[in-house]
Structures are given as structure tokens and as C-alpha cells.
Amino acid sequence: MQTATFGGGCFWCTEAVFQVLNGVESVTSGYMGGLLKHPTYMEISNGDTGHAEVIQIEFDEKIISYNDLLLVFFKTHTPTFLNRQGNDIGPQYRSVIYYHSSEQKLLAKQIIEKLTNERVFKKPIVTEICFATDFYEAEDYHQNYFIKNAGKPYCAFVIQPKLDKFILEFNKMIKSELSS
């Protein structure tokens, strides 16, 4: 198993997307990048602890590559917004890749360069690439949030449409690859 850690806004949304991928064994919501040891959601929610809301992914690289995870990461959030995703505003919602090896760091830099050169986004990518530091698991009620709360308004009106769009685009991409 390999580990990947991404921050792409609210971890509830990010977690839900990565949980549907074949080869992803687990997705854990948490906090990384700040100075405070063992932070709580209430402590990081004001944006001044330095932590980002992140997901930590355990994946089988024989089934899904780190590069594929990076592509999903960039496809499912807006990496051109500084400290913001949708209505979530603050440095805790920043776009960030925490790398666990020099290979992950290199792949992250390469994909940002490729997306920039291909002008995939109209604005510059502001995603940070940082060495993975201590990961602090978020409180239990944050784990598997969408799975446990699909009927709640935030899940129904924010997460579900994002997930539906991703699954539709992902299936189109798979069909296209199979037919070529």
C-alpha cells in the first residue's frame, strides 16, 4: 500500500470522490500542515493554525497509480483559487499536495507543469506542494461523512452533484480508453 495526502477544500467532498475509486483502500479525513499538535475541527476552522483540511489515502499502486490520483485531484476541485473552494473560504481550504516521497513530489510538479502548458485552467494553478508532516485524523463525525449523511442538505446539494459529475466524466473517459 502507498499513501497520498491531498487538500482540495472541504474534506467531506474530497473524501466522497476518492472513496469510489478502484484501488483506493481507505480515505481518512484529517488535518496537516500546521503547528498545533492534535488539532480539532474547532481549532482549525478559524484558519490561523496553519492546518489544511486533507484526506489521507491508502491505495494499491498495482490497481491505481499516484499519477491517476493526481489527475482525479485536479479534476475535482479548483486549483486556481487561493484559500477557497466554493463557499469554503480560508487557508484551511487551500489546494495542497503533501508528498510522501521524492517521486510523489516530482510527479506533482510534472502534472502542474503539464496542466499549465496545456492551459487546462484559465488562471494560474496555486496548488502548494509540501512535504507530508504529521497527519491528525479528524473527529469521528467527519469520517465517511457523505456515506453516513447523504440525505443532509450539504451532501444532497454540494457533494452529490460533484460526485455525479465526476462519475459521469470518469465513465466517459474509461469508455474512450477502452474503445481506442
Which residues are known catalytic residues?
A: 10
- As given in the structure block, the three cell numbers for residue 118 are 496545456
List the beta strands (DSSP E) in 2-156: 2-8, 24-32, 52-59, 84-85, 88-89, 95-99, 128-131, 136-137
List the beta strands (DSSP E) in the chain: 2-8, 24-32, 52-59, 84-85, 88-89, 95-99, 128-131, 136-137
Buried b (16+ CB within 10 A) or exposed e, 10-44: bbbbbbbbbbebeebeebbbbbbbbeeeebebeeb
Distance from C-alpha of 120 to C-alpha of 118, rounded to nearest angstrom: 5
Three-class SS state of 168 = helix
